[in-house]
Amino acid sequence: MQIVRTAAELRAARAALAGRVGFVPTMGALHAGHARLMEVAKKKADHLIVSIFVNPTQFGPNEDFTKYPRTEEADLALCEATGADIVFLPKATEIYRAEPLIRLAVDPKIAGVLCGAHRPGHFDGVAQVVAILFNLVRPHSACFGEKDYQQLAVLRRLADDLHFGIDIIPVPTVREPDGLALSSRNRYLSPEERAAAPAIYRAMLQCKSRADQIRFDRIAQPVAKVEEEGRALILKEIPGAQIDYFEIRHTDTLEPTQFIMNKSRLFAAVRVGTTRLIDNLLLGG
What's the Rg (C-alpha) of the chain?
A: 19
In 44-178, which ranges are continuous DSSP H helix?
72-82, 92-95, 108-111, 115-118, 122-137, 149-161
Q: Which long-range contacts (CB under 8 A, 24 or more apart) does 117-122 make?
A: 117/245, 118/244, 118/245, 118/269, 119/60, 119/63, 120/60, 121/57, 121/60, 122/58, 122/59, 122/60
Provide the phi-psi class of 272: left if phi over 0, else alpha when psi is between -120 and 50, else beta: beta
Structural contact between residues 277 and 197, judged by C-beta atoms closer than 8 angstroms: yes
Which residue in 31, 34, 47, 122 is the catalytic one? Answer: 34
The verdict on whether 140 is a catalytic residue reads: no
Tell me the three state secondary structure of residue 34: helix
Burial class of residue 95, CB neighbours in 10 A (0-12, 13-18, 19+): buried
Could you give the residue numbers annotated as active site? 34
